[in-house]
Structure 1
Amino acid sequence: MKKSFLTPLLFFVLFQFNYAESNFTDSLNWPQWRGPNRDGFVSKDSPWPSTIDGKYLTQSWQAELGKGYPGPVLSDQLVFTIESVEGSEVVHAIDRKTGKPAWKFEWEGQMKVPFFAAKNGSWVRSTPAFDGENLYVCGMRDVLHSLNAKTGEVNWKVDFVERYKTPLPAFGMVCSPLVDGKYLYIQAGSGFVKLNKKTGQSIWRSLVDKGGMFGSAFSSPVMEEINGKKQLVVQTRTDLTGVDPESGQKLWSQPIKAFRGMNILTPSVLNNQIFTSSYGGKSLLFDIPKAGKKQSIVQNWENKQEGYMSGPIILDGYCYIHLRKQRITCLDMKNGETKWISSESFGKYMSMVSNGKEILALDEDGTLYLIDPNPEKFVIKESRKISDSPTWAHLAVSGNQLFIREIESLVCYSW
């Protein structure tokens, strides 16, 4: 019997369909803090709104919640977020299409933060992480839960205060967990911890501090390959550090000046260089030279502009960052030169997302901006008051949907 030419053709068509379907599904996910790569970027092949006009970008649904700062985290079907209610914290799974609740899980967990931070609320802060199967959720009182993402059932729980006999973090747990392969990494328990993500068992604990008011980290780690060596880049309250993922040992370390240890940004790693900026410090670019088995860190340049809480967008050799003085600036990554500073003043926090061509930026006052990343001048292409509520959480963009976590609700927009 002769083989039909349709057989390989059919196989090819099915393969292409499954491949495209797989890629489409992958592109729907916003699985962790600041997106797929923790840098604020969506895939260049992902959908992107051509305008933020209210006739084009429209509200699909709104889910009322208790107060909270965590950014939305997405699977292909669900969106996850956390709220603080009286005496407890609650994680919600909500259907992406309809806004209807899928499940929720609650635990005792609220606490008060110091008075100078309490003006913005003593609400849950850490953005969860999703690994395709399970959700990893942090509560204010240094507690981490692993939950089945489809059902909300508890896989395991770690109370870092109990495990390491450490004080409660003064500002609550802020760091967002990082999942890499079989392991999970987080700044908790007055240090930096590696856990088995299936069991919650500690593998090692590093970068230990005294905890309390001047301990307990604000920043979240990233995993990068620098000069051929895979490593964790971690910003504590005092230092920028490279950590070996196998042993937990320091590879290099650099003090970062900041007022009251306000080292909040997630470090940005690009081409064997690391960018950071701090409240009460400066904007800094460091090189990690390639030199035998040992690595070191060398300052490339510094700029007096101070970042605060908002992670930058680094695109085509330029860094676009929201500053402590509530303006946006563009820095030349080659030499640290300030290209421009916006004349417009914004809120204390602004989350930024980019597709490599434009920047979507959400100000804490509820204004959404579409910005042209132009190193020659500050260009707002469009702006829109999209929320009457404070919007401190990070944006999430996925598929043709935009998710905004207001202080007391989660809102889905689509185009």
Structure 2
Amino acid sequence: MAQTTQNTDVANTDEMRRPGAKHTAVRVWPVMVITIVYAAVNGLLLRYGTTNIHSAIALGVAPAIALLLLLIWWFGASRVPWKDRFLGGALFIAAAVAITLGQRTVSLGAMLLASALPFLIYGMLPLVLVTRGLRWSRGRWVLVAGLAVWTGVFSAVRVDSIGGNLFPVVSWRWQASTTEHAGMLTRITTQETAQLPEQPGPGDWTAFRGANRDGRVEGVRFSTEWSTPPREVWRRDIGSAWSGFILVGGYLFTQEQRGEEELVTCYHADTGEPVWSNGIKEKFEDGMGLGPRATPTYSGGRLYTQGGTGIMQCLDAATGETLWKRDLRKDALTEVPEWGFSASPLVVEGLVIVFTAGEEGKGVIAYDCSTGEPAWMSGHGDSGYCSPHLGVLCGTPQVLMVSNFGIESLDPAGGTRLWEHKWDIQTNPRCTQPIVLNGDSVMFGATGVSGSRLLRTEYASGQWQVAEKWTTRKFRPYFNDGAVLHQHYYGFDGERVACLDVMTGDRVWAGERLSGQMLLLVDMEMLLVLSEVGEVVLIPATPQAYEVKARFKAIEGKTWNHPLVGGGRLFVRNAREAVCYEIAL
């Protein structure tokens, strides 16, 4: 039987090759089955997938299996002459190598190739169908042309960075990359003095995610009738960074990369015009993007900043003058983390506290705000991208530090460990802030297979007791923070906006794939989400159901920076531009 099948296949191949012979078409039905099954699997992943594990399956595993099946068909059941089977395989390998090696790193090239495979898989079926109406001597050129177009298109694009779903963010090679854009920006030469108030006002936003780092905006109301988008007040180019804005006394402060300089910058909030800049010769760049990651912290007329390579500075907020600086690599005896130093400084009682990802006992360092001298060192974690978080549990102020270790609580004054909870993670880093609940509980989580966990603390007879209340794998935040309202946590399960009942750990609903950053407008009971693609979306903060109240496109390009609402304005930025909108009352 096997010999008969082989002879039939050879005969069919000879028929395709012999001039003037009866036409034998390429066998199509296996390609059709592979394409349909792949499309169904991909559709399910896009519809129901949430985390970057599902993205990795959609990006890498599913197309790889489909490609393997197509290769089996091509070499074993296509009826194509054997010479052309091997030539076709060689052409595909050459095309894949060209796409992969055409990027600045092999890893980025491999990711581009993986994202290009679905186009090849879906394109194969119509191309093969076209060949059925042609003799193979002509039909082969249809497949060659299709492969050439596929190779040309994906060789003409450049991977600029990686999205939150692990898919490459691309642009045409003739367009300026984010790095080139940052290099073309002129250095800010303006050096004015900001006229700052003695104390921040009620509408100011002095630190990462606000003064309490909880993403809650109080005392703000505005119309949600956005059939006409909010009025744009100003728009300007800005250097590359994932840093957010802070707002003090009518001035915006942020961090950015321009050329070879890492900058801390001050802008007029009303006009977007620069006030001053402070630059150092440092540069951090990885697959996620170029420039610093942390957001400045304002306290007592000073700015505390942490750069992507680990240079921490204390600046005069009015002038930008450097008052002192430290190198976390030296102080913590560590190297630059894979995705840069990303934690925003925390100021507590005359100390500025930072996460270093350093060696044991130096993962967290507190510096004297006045002098910059180390006050204490502590901490287990040597990996992670969370910022130190000040919380009050059982009436005791404490610094909560989430890392690959789990979570630990440190005394702000001396760094003594009050309690700890080990929940080791080695796959995906923890990036989101912990959430303090009901004065005695804390919730934290991570993407991938770990999920989220609620701990309950007790303090009695001089001892801390920590107990796990619940753990869920149905709420897996990556780098997207959320907020709590009425015993419900609104945040992200992977890429999807989602609602979690904090009393039970049950996920109440899951919405769109927005994969962005979120503010809770408390008085309006409304979520404001700035999506990864620069869209602003208003979502009622209710456990009843997911609903979009309004939305508009605010900014172009990949956007991981946190939004800011203050003074009747909405401020958004990303790695290329900053925009201010008026939000009407």
Shorter-chain TM-score category?
Answer: 0.7 to 0.9
Any residues of structure 2 matched to 1:339-350 within 5 Å, and which? Answer: 339-342=508-511, 344-347=512-515, 349-350=516-517
The residue type equivalent to 1:62 in the other structure is R
The TM-score normalised by the length of structure 1 is 0.87
CA-to-aligned-CA distance 1:129-185 (integer Å, 9 cap, x gap): 011401111111111011111100111001122234332333211111011221111
Instruction: List 4+ stretches of structure 1 deviating above 4 A.
Output: 22-25
Task: Report what 1:9 is aligned to.
Answer: none
Structure 1 equivalent of residue 570 of structure 2: 402
| Aligned-residue identity in percent | 26
* Alpha-carbon distance in structure 1 between the residues aligned to 2:290 and 2:200: 36
Aligned-residue CA RMSD in angstroms? Answer: 2.0
**8 Å CA contact retained: 2:384, 2:429:** no
What is aligned with 1:48? Answer: 221
Match of 1:336 in 2: 505
CA-CA distance at 1:28 after TM superposition: 2.4
Q: Distance in 2 between matches of 1:25 and 1:149?
A: 12
Q: Is 1:26 aligned to 2:201, yes or no? A: yes
1:56 is displaced (CA, Å) by 6.2
- My pick for the range that moved more, 200-209 or 309-318, is 200-209
Q: Is 1:192 aligned with 2:367?
A: no
Q: Deviations over 1:98-141 (max 9, x none)?
A: 2111000100111343xxxx1x2132101110114011111111
Which of 491, 503, 508 is equivalent to 1:321?
Answer: 491
Q: Which residue of 209, 224, 232 corresponds with 2:391?
A: 224
Length-normalised TM-score, structure 2 = 0.62
1:347-362 alignment runs, 5 A limit: 347=515, 349-356=516-523, 357-362=525-530
> Does the CA contact (< 8 Å) of 2:410 and 2:418 recur in 1?
yes
Contact 2:563–2:570 (CA under 8 A) maintained in structure 1? yes
- C-alpha separation between the residues in 1 aligned to 2:486 and 2:520? 15
Give the secondary-structure state (helix, strand or coil) at the position aligned to 2:508.
strand
In structure 2, the residue corresponding to 1:51 is in which secondary structure? coil
Give the SS at the match of 2:284: coil
3-state SS in 2 of match to 1:27:
coil
For 2:246, the equivalent position in structure 1 comes to: 73
Q: Hey, what does 2:65 align to over in structure 1?
A: none
Unaligned runs of 5+ in 1: 1-21, 210-214
Tell me, in whole angstroms, the C-alpha distance in 2 between the residues paired with 1:261 and 1:398: 34
> Separation in 2 of the partners of 1:333 and 1:402?
29
> Where do residues 298-317 of structure 1 align in structure 2 (5 Å cutoff)?
298-305=467-474, 306-317=476-487
> What secondary structure, in the 3-state scheme, does the structure 1 residue paired with 2:305 have?
strand
Change (3 A) 1:140 1:359: same
Map 1:9-408; keep pairs closer than 5 Å.
Answer: 26-43=201-218, 46-51=219-224, 53=226, 55=228, 57-113=230-286, 118=287, 120-188=288-356, 190=358, 191-208=363-380, 215-271=382-438, 272-280=440-448, 281-305=450-474, 306-324=476-494, 326-342=495-511, 344-347=512-515, 349-356=516-523, 357-408=525-576
Aligned-pair distance for 1:296?
2.3
Equivalents in 1 of 2:305, 2:199: separation in Å?
26
Distance across 2 between alignment mates of 1:136 and 1:328: 31
Gap regions ≥5 residues in structure 2: 1-196
The CA deviation string for residues 177-231 of structure 1, in whole angstroms up to 9 with x for no partner, is 011221111102611011111111100000155xxxxx34300111122112111
- Match of 2:214, SS state, is coil
Number of matched pairs: 379
What is the letter of the counterpart of residue 559 of structure 2? T
What secondary structure does 2:329 align onto? helix
Deviations 1:285-311 (A, max 9, x none): 110123221112211111112111111
The answer for the alignment partner of 2:67 in structure 1 is none
Distance 1:353 1:69 in 2: 20
Distance 1:56 1:121 in 2: 29
Structure 1: distance between partners of 2:500 and 2:332: 41
Given that 1:251 and 1:296 are in contact with CA atoms closer than 8 Å, whether structure 2 keeps it comes out as no
In the aligned structure 1, how far is the partner of 2:484 from the partner of 2:210?
Answer: 14
Tell me if structure 1 keeps the 8 A contact 2:555–2:579: no
Higher CA-based Rg: 2
Q: Which has the higher contact order (CA 8 A, sep 6+)?
A: 1
1:15 alignment partner in structure 2: none
Distance 1:112 1:57, change over 3 A: closer
Question: For residues 528 and 497 of structure 2, what CA distance do their matches in structure 1 show?
Answer: 13
| Structure 2 CA distance for partners of 1:208 and 1:345, relative to 1, 3 Å | closer
What does the per-residue CA deviation read over 1:303-323, in whole Å, with 9 as the maximum and x for residues that have no partner?
A: 112111111111001111112
Q: Contact conserved, 1:351 with 1:393, CA < 8 A, in 2? A: no
Counterparts in 2 of 1:285 and 1:125: CA distance versus 1, 3 Å: same
CA–CA distance in 2 between the matches of 1:54 and 1:199?
52
**Helix, strand or coil for the counterpart of 1:296?**
strand
Aligned letter for 1:265?
T
